[in-house]
Chain A
Amino acid sequence: MAQILAPGTVAPDFSLHVTPDQKLSLSELRGRPVILAFYPADFSPVCGDEMSLYNEILPEFQKYGAELLGISVDGVWCHEAFTKDRHLRFPLLADYEPKGEVARKYGAYRDGDGFCERALFVIDGKGKIFWSYRSPVAVNPGADGILQALEEMPK
């Protein structure tokens, strides 16, 4: 299994679709913390799936000025439907073409399965990974690690 990128590593830049006609680059967010949350797939059949949970916790992330980005191999149309269904208030990135390319760069792609790990990265304002964590794919990691990292990150 690939190792996810460790703290201290420069976070690989990317430019991915967030809507059918809009792209977002990591480098655009320089100057504030970024939470990059890789997850296997839209529409997990549970209440309080990882993205919905983070949506509820969004105000806590925003207290640290942090930007939350969800990322999976689902396409923009799927993300759009998922966002609408769960009332998500943060962007979902489509790591769709070439499939999983960004996830691979972060060591967060599951080759046999063809989808992302549940991997979290907290990236500082200079674009360096401050904290990273991979959860077993069936276990939603929650947000405690993210909040602790944001708290410990030097301002």
Chain B
Amino acid sequence: MATLKVPVTATDHIQGDEDAPVTLLEYGDYECPHCGHAYPIIKRIQKHFGKQLKFVFRNFPLSEMHPNAEGAAEAAEFAGAKGRFWEMHDGLFENQDELGEPLYVALAESLGLSAPDLGKALMDREYAPRVKSDFLGGVRSGVNGTPTFFINGQRHDGLPDYEDLVAAIDARLSRAPT
């Protein structure tokens, strides 16, 4: 069973209660249709589990297949460096069919972020090392496609659908110390 090799730290993008007994971590790609499909499912799961769950997102752009995946990931990291990661993340998945710099600029502006700064960060590949580091950590952890989920550090080999993820998280919760 593949296990997460890079522990979740404060440098990660984390949503939810810090002390939640279950951590759901996704390695995802903004251009991957399966990740797009999983996006609203994650929202439902977060709502369902509330304070019992925290969610972490890491980049795993499959650039050979998805030409916009890397740029989108870097744009999200740009927003993340300004404290607006999740807004950008949501905007990217909600507009998955329009990935490209015009979308990143529009999203940045809607968040009050500087469009020229974003353009420069993308041009300079400022956030490429961060994305690469996520990717390599994922490879080492046995990420086997996108999305790949880890629940409390164990790879979830079931389906990335609502029922399956809820069941897997429930199984973790019943084992977690209260």
**Residues on A close to B: CB < 8 A?**
46-50, 52-53, 55-57, 60, 86-87, 139-145, 147
Q: Given A50-B144, A140-B145, check contact A87 B139 (CB 8 Å).
A: no
Q: Which residues of B contact A144 (CB under 8 A)?
A: 2, 5, 139-142
The smallest beta-carbon distance between B9 and chain A, in angstroms, is: 20
Q: Which residues of A contact B157 (CB under 8 A)?
A: 139
The smallest beta-carbon distance between A65 and chain B, in angstroms, is: 18
Partner of A48 from the list B2, B65, B142 (CB cut-off 8 Å) is B65
Q: Which residues of B contact A87 (CB under 8 A)?
A: 64-65
The smallest beta-carbon distance between B155 and chain A, in angstroms, is: 8
Count of B interface residues, CB-CB < 8 Å: 21
The smallest beta-carbon distance between B122 and chain A, in angstroms, is: 21
Q: Given A52-B64, A53-B62, A56-B63, check contact A47 B145 (CB 8 Å).
A: yes
A48-B145 in contact (CB<8A): yes
* CB of B68 within 8 Å of the partner chain: no
A52-B5 in contact (CB<8A): no
A86-B65 in contact (CB<8A): yes
Q: Which residues of B contact A50 (CB under 8 A)?
A: 144
